[in-house]
Amino acid sequence: MSHVRIWIHLVFATKQRENLLSNGLRIVFQEHILSNCQKKDIFLQAINGFTDHLHLLISLGKDQSIAQVVQLIKGESSFWINRNHLLPYKFYWQDDYFAVSVSESQMENVVKYIENQEEHHKTKSFNEELNEFVLRYGFKVIMDS
């Protein structure tokens, strides 16, 4: 029997980073994503976000890739919000996402960070947060041509 625990901090934004996820809608959306993850055997430890993005802490299964899990979460959730007409127009996620591995020793800190998104974004925009991640983790930003 294989035993795998690979923690990933996943962040993705609404198309063009529009502020579409009001508190009420975001809570309903997050509950749906949690339920969908359970049905698809995606272990979701934490989820929260702000008006234009979501943070998730997931653990990949032995047969799962980041790309597969992201597609299952983003694709199904945008389909669900559109099918249920929760917005007066089509909802889309931005194509890109941020994913970084998390060590067991940092789990508690990452969960707290995700849980405190509303407080965090009182003083910092999503762009500022993203730029901090790029610097902290040494990502190279590649602009599409």
All domains of the chain in start order, with CATH: 6-137 (3.30.70.1290)
Q: Give 107-143 pLDDT, tens digit per residue.
A: 999 999 899 888 877 787 777 777 777 777 676 665 5
pLDDT at 145: 45
pLDDT at 123: 80
Q: Give 41-97 pLDDT, tens digit per residue.
A: 999 999 999 999 999 999 998 899 999 999 999 999 999 999 999 999 999 999 999
Q: Give 5-43 pLDDT, tens digit per residue.
A: 899 999 999 999 898 888 788 999 999 999 999 999 999
Instruction: State both tokens at 136.
Output: 């902290």
Which of 97, 118, 101 minimizes the C-alpha distance to 110?
Answer: 101
Q: 58: Cβ–Cβ under 8 A, 6 or more apart, which residues? A: 7, 8, 10, 37, 42, 43, 44, 45, 69
Instruction: State the residue for tokens 């997931």.
Output: 58
Q: Is the pTM of this model over 0.75?
A: yes
